[in-house]
Chains A and B, each alone.
Chain A
C-alpha cells in the first residue's frame, strides 16, 4: 500500500513560492494493481510521481510507502560523464546494496539489454542521446522493485529498441505493479486497471481506468 496523506506541493523559485501544484491530495494505492495517473497538463501528475519516487519532498503532508518503489523508468540521473557505462552501472548497483558478485550479474544484464557494445566501456559523456536513453532504460529495469513508476513516454527508445522497451514494460506490468503517468488512451487501456485522476489540485480514485478516462475527457472538453 502506498498511502498519500493530504500532500501539498509548491516549488521554491528565485521569484519566491510558486502556485500550488498539489493542494491536499489524499489517496491510497493498493498492491497488485496497475494504476494510471491522469489529468490535464500542469495538474501535478509528474510532481506526484516524483513525490512517490522520493526524489522530492512534499511541502506539507506525508507519503507512507511500505513497498520497494523504483525511480521513474528512464529517469536515471547522477551518472558521471567522465566515468564509463560500466563504472556508472556499478555505482547504481552499489547504491542498491548489491555485493560485487551480484553487481557482475547486473552488469551482464545491462550489457545484453542495452546493446551499445564497446561504448559500454567509454565515458558516459561521449554517448549520443539515443545511447544514453538505452543505458538509462536498461539501468531502470535491471533492479527488482515491487512498484515501477513510468512517466509518459515509457523511457523513450526509438527504432527497434522501442519494441524492446514496450515488451519490457508489458513484462513488468504482469510481474510487478506499475504507476503510469499518461496522456495516451492506448497506454492506459493496455496496462492499467485503475486510475488516479488529478483535477483542480485534488485526487480522485477510480477502480476502473476507463471510467477515469471518461471523466478526464469530460473535463478536457469543458
Chain B
C-alpha cells in the first residue's frame, strides 16, 4: 500500500510473468515429494530397461546393423522424451491454468511457455545424466559427430515446442479433442522409431512412417552417435526443421485466435 508505480512496458510485464511462472513451476515439480528427482531419472530408465528386455530376450534380436542395441534404445527413448514431455506438460499447463487468470497479466500462452521452459531444462538435464551414466558403466556412447548431435537435439526440441504450442490449444478446445490428442500420442510414439530401426520397416510402410517429422530427429540423433548405423533412405533433419517452423507459427496463431476461448471459464 505505497505509492503507485510507473506503467511498465508490455515486454517487461510479459517477462516478469514468464519468470514468475517458470520459477514456480520448477519449484513445484521438484518439491512435490522427496523422491521427485529420483522418478525424473527412474521413469525413462525403466522405459529403456523394458525395451532392452523386449529386444534381447523377447525378440532375440541382439544385433542392429552398425549399432549397439542398448545405445540404440537409449537414444531413441531420450530423443522422444523431449517432444513428449513438452507436449504433455503444455496440455496440462493450460488445463490447470484457470486459477492463474486471477492475475490479469497472465495469458494462456504464458503458462505454456513457462512449462516448455521447465520441461526443456529437465529433459536436457535428463539426457546428460543418463548419457554420462551410460558412459561410466562402459556402454559405447562416444559421440561421433557432436555438431550433428546438437543439431538433432535442437531440431527435436524445436519440433517439440511447435507440437506443444499446437496440441495445448487443440487438446483444450473440447473434451473430445483432449481425448483425441492423448490417443494420438501412442501412434506418434510407435511411428517415431523408438523401438525399432526405420531400416527394418517394410518399404510400403516406410513412406508412411517418414511423414512423421519426429522420426527424422530420432534417427538423426542415432546417426550422430553411431555413423555406421543404417537408417531407411530419406532421413532428413531439414524436414523436421520445416515442420517445426510451421508448427510454431501455427501454434502461436492458434493461441492468439483462441485466447478468449481458452481463458473463458467453463
Contact = CB atoms under 8 A, between A and B. Distances in A.
Interface of A: 11-13, 53-57, 59, 68-69, 71, 75-78, 80, 82-83, 87, 90-92, 94-97, 141-142, 144, 146, 171-172, 175
25 contacts: A12-B264, A13-B266, A53-B104, A54-B104, A56-B264, A57-B260, A57-B264, A76-B102, A77-B100, A78-B100, A80-B24, A80-B27, A87-B27, A90-B23, A91-B23, A91-B24, A94-B20, A94-B23, A95-B17, A95-B106, A97-B8, A97-B12, A142-B1, A144-B3, A172-B1
Interface in B83-136: 99-106
B101 A56 contact: yes
Contact of A82 (B28, B105, B266): B28
Contacts of B105: 95-96
A83 B31 contact: yes
B45 interface: no
B133 to A, nearest CB: 28
B16 A96 contact: yes
A90 B21 CA distance: 11
A11 B265 contact: yes
Nearest to B2: A144
Given A97-B16, A141-B1, 14 more contacts: A11-B266, A53-B102, A53-B104, A56-B263, A71-B104, A77-B99, A82-B31, A91-B24, A92-B103, A94-B20, A95-B21, A95-B106, A96-B16, A171-B1
Contacts of B2: 144
B23 A78 contact: no
Contacts, number: 81
B1 A55 contact: no
B13 interface: yes
B60 interface: no
Contacts of B13: 97
Contact of B1 (A68, A80, A94, A144): A144
A68 B2 CA distance: 14
A9 to B, nearest CB: 9
A8 B105 CA distance: 22
Interface string B1-41: 11111001000110011011101100110011000000000
B159 to A, nearest CB: 30
Interface in B185-204: none
Instruction: Choose among B12, B102, B104, B266 the residue with the greatest number of A CB atoms under 10 Å from its CB.
Output: B102
A97 B104 CA distance: 13
Nearest to A105: B2
A95 B263 contact: no
Interface string B54-82: 00000000000000000000000000000
Nearest to A141: B1
A94 B25 CA distance: 13
Contacts of A75: 102
Contacts of A96: 16, 103, 105
B218 to A, nearest CB: 34
Contact of A55 (B3, B28, B101, B266): B101
Contacts of A56: 101, 263-265
B1 A175 contact: yes
B28 A144 contact: no
A15 to B, nearest CB: 12
Contacts of A55: 101-102, 104, 265
Contacts of A91: 20, 23-24
